[in-house]
Structure 1
Amino acid sequence: MKSERERAYAYARKHLLMFDSEVNRTKEHLAYFANAAGYELAATFIEEIETWPAAFERLIQAVIRDRVEAVILPSMLHFAVLGDPTNIKQHFEAATGARIIAISNAVSHTLGDTVS
């Protein structure tokens, strides 16, 4: 019997002057990491500059509703606009039960060895 992969969502904040091609590369990077780390990436939430924190709020609702196990970020800096990233991470994990994984912190010499 095939075991199911844990589902994950991804979140990234678009920055000023970011081109659509950069957003697409970020999505591809998140999807690649999720797959390599053993997750099924079910959705990616992109925060637009003009509407923040709308995508973050949708992310929280979706994680709770869908009982997603993990949320993958390119780096913790994508939470910085919301406040201190460490505090946001702690509150998010406590409120949703999902683990935050920042790719910049998680990548080691052997992908998947270290996920925090």
Structure 2
Amino acid sequence: MTNAAEAGPDLPRALGYLRKHLLMTESELSEAEGRLAHFAQVRGFRLQQIYVEELETWPAAFEALIEAAGTDGLSAVLLPSMLHFAVLGPPAEIKQYFEQLTGTRVLVAL
């Protein structure tokens, strides 16, 4: 899990989630985190943290994300793409499950 820059304490809270792929470099990871932070800023969210799913420990970050998303006041979870849910099952079904379980919207940072 990676901490992201916080901005604007009165903005709606968001968390990020991404899954590292087998050959992902630290530069690519940093770029993906930067895209999530930029999307949050443009859409008016305060990105509190980005959960990074490691290949060796999955689904630990997803489970931690579910726990964190259950807290009051969280507005959204941001993903670089729906493919980051793909390893857990069909992305649309995982999104629906996550939203129903936590009451938190899942948004793709395009």
TM-score of the superposed pair, with normalisation by structure 1: 0.84
Unaligned runs of 5+ in 1: 105-116
Q: Which structure's residues are more often helix, by fraction?
A: 1
What is aligned with 1:33?
39
1:67, distance to aligned residue in structure 2 (A): 3.9
Q: Runs (4+) of structure 1 moved beyond 4 Å?
A: none
1:103, distance to aligned residue in structure 2 (A): 1.8
1:84, distance to aligned residue in structure 2 (A): 0.4
CA RMSD of aligned residues (A): 1.5
Cα distance in 1 for partners of 2:80, 2:107 equals: 9
1:68, distance to aligned residue in structure 2 (A): 1.2
Higher relative contact order (CA 8 A, sep 6+): 2
Based on CA coordinates, which of the two structures has the bigger radius of gyration?
1
Q: How many residues align?
A: 103
1:66, distance to aligned residue in structure 2 (A): 4.8
Residue identity (%): 51
TM-score of the superposed pair, with normalisation by structure 2: 0.89
What is aligned with 1:61?
67
Unaligned runs of 5+ in 2: 1-7
Contact 2:9 2:46 in 1 (8 A): no
Alignment of 1:61-80 (within 5 A): 61-80=67-86
Cα displacement string for residues 26-78 of structure 1 (whole angstroms, at most 9, x for unaligned residues): 11110001000100001100000111000000000011135411000000000
